[in-house]
Amino acid sequence: MLLQVLFRLLTFALNAFTLRYVSREIIGLVNVRLTLLYTTIVFLAREAFRRACLSHPTRQNWTHTINLTWLAVPLGIGWSLILGWVWLRVLEAPDPEIIPHYGTGVLAFGVSAVVELAAEPFWVLAQAHLFVRLKVVAESLAIILRCSVTVILVLFCPQWGLLIFSFTQILYTSLLALCYILYFAKFLGSKEAEKKSFPLHSMKEFLPRYSGSQDFIDWKQAWLACSFFKQSFLKQILTEGERYVMTFLNVLSFGDQGVYDIVNNLGSLVARFIFLPIEESFYVYFSKVLERGKDVQSQKKEEISAASAVLESLLKLVTLIGLIIIAFGYAYSQLALDIYGGSMLSGGSGPVLLRCYCLYVLLLAINGVTECFSFASMSKEEVDRYNYVMLGLSLSFLCLSYYMTLWLGSVGFILANCFNMGLRIAHSLFYIRRYYRESPYQPLAGLRPSPAVIGVLCLSAAVTGYSEMHLCCDMGWPYRLAHILIGGLCLAVTLAVLVLSESKLIHFIRSHFLSKKPKKKV
């Protein structure tokens, strides 16, 4: 996690530099419409296979699993053709005088999605065998290369416009896939692979294989993937709902979309750096520890106890991080936007957007952990039933986003997200409470921070809010630095109180995130 934060801080700085040389219209087109095309193709083609293949990876036939993951490639090609046609023929194209080469951009982002899907078998094997550093290093190197090349081309070839982002997108996915392939080419046959009893021994085993003595795929695993596919389709609408509304209903101009997306990316830094890695890692953990579809009484006592303790500590961790962001986010939103993107972001609706996003980050964090546990423990039938819940949430979210945006502008997107995220959290909390109902464990207690922490957070919010009124942000840098120092002091006091009052959480962080040796027991 620390390595990922370090790499992405450099990316953050490079993106801030690029914002000062690219128009809001190009940023809106690339970051909203074209990125939506790429993420939609990738998500619909692989998400269901990932979830199905990572359920109890130690008990599966890896030949069947690899064959199943390769199906993501033809599925991705199909989605690329269908959605590429929609993006070119159905959606309104931008003015070629302002943003030329739109067709090339659609083609490049569609091809990049297929390139990334070609590395899916390698990703699944890496995740199932906990090659965490491989994932972090591969993604970080690819992102840094993309940002570095983008900065260079923006400085020396600004007339290329959209072609710059098209080229760097293909470069990003190509390097990402190449990192996984080269790693396993070196890893297979090594002493480390033998020590870990890795199930594959040559690169040829990563290719799809057919044997007349057995089925091409495990049909039970395939049907589980089908259930997750229906769910992933709806989850994609919920995850990227505001971008679909922007893209298909044209409620905001490309310039306004660019500002919204920048604020959205800035506000979600913590979610990408911390919450998403936690969700992905502990989904694998819960999938290994818990028997899917079995109640508490049918699980091993030691494992259900460990899962409960981990879930409680995770909920406490993400809740505290989210509350800290809310407490300090209000007073430092405008200053953060001014430093990151200048007056283009700090003026207008930018600060209001970021302040509202702080609340969304808290809900996003809690939902990530609760759904992580729920999806790892649900039976196939429960997953199917949840698809109907997701359908209702998706429809309500799209309607709410549209009308709230007409009423409140871009702020309406964030408020609609908060409302729907709250409903998803409520459903997951109800499932977890029912799951542990017949046991002495209460993992949902992790949602209740200590009174001392709540008190110091309220005090910090009041002090920093008063500091912003008198020291920031229309004054010079000496006043801004004083405002930052006051915030730093309040944050130090908050963390000190947290360490003293949340000893159980501190032990969990030390044993699971800071310890060099993995713990077998919680």
**Which residue ranges of the chain lie beneath pLDDT 70?**
1-8, 11, 55-60, 211-216, 231, 234, 238, 513-522
Q: What is the pLDDT of residue 49?
A: 81
**Cα separation of 332 and 480, whole Å?**
10
Q: What is the pLDDT of residue 439?
A: 81
Q: What is the pLDDT of residue 518?
A: 46
**Cα separation of 396 and 413, whole Å?**
13
**Angle in degrees, 0-180, between the axes of helices 411-435 and 380-408, rounded to the nearest 10:** 160
> Which ranges of 343-450 would DSSP assign to H, the alpha helix?
343-346, 350-377, 380-408, 411-435
Q: Quick check: 420 and 400 in contact, CB under 8 A?
A: yes
**Cα separation of 41 and 35, whole Å?**
10
Q: For residues 371, 372, 378 and 382, what is the CA-based torsion angle, rounded to 10 degrees? A: 30
**Cα separation of 318 and 113, whole Å?**
31
**Cα separation of 357 and 377, whole Å?**
30
Q: First-to-last CA distance in the chain?
A: 20
**Cα separation of 91 and 261, whole Å?**
19
pTM over 0.75: no
Span 290-345, pLDDT tens digits: 877 777 777 778 888 888 888 999 999 999 999 999 999 999 988 888 888 777 77
Q: Quick check: 133 and 1 in contact, CB under 8 A?
A: no
Q: Quick check: 502 and 316 in contact, CB under 8 A?
A: yes
Span 51-90, pLDDT tens digits: 777 765 555 677 778 888 888 899 999 999 999 999 999 9
Q: What is the pLDDT of residue 7?
A: 66
**Angle in degrees, 0-180, between the axes of helices 162-187 and 132-156, rounded to the nearest 10:** 150
How many contiguous H segments (helices) and E segments (strands) does the chain have?
23, 0
Give the count of beta carbons closer than 10 Å to the beta carbon of residue 157: 11
Give the count of beta carbons closer than 10 Å to the beta carbon of residue 163: 16
Q: What is the pLDDT of residue 521?
A: 44
Q: 3-state secondary structure string, 257-295?
A: HHHHHHHHHHHCHHHHHHHHHHHHHHHHHHHHHCCCCCC
DSSP 450: -
CA angle centred on 84, ends 82 and 86, rounded to 5°: 75
Helix, strand, coil percentages in the chain from 3-state DSSP, rounded to 5:
80, 0, 20
Q: 381, exposed or middle or buried, with CB in 10 Å at 0-12, 13-18, 19+?
A: exposed
**Cα separation of 360 and 163, whole Å?**
34
Tokens 């994932």 correspond to 135
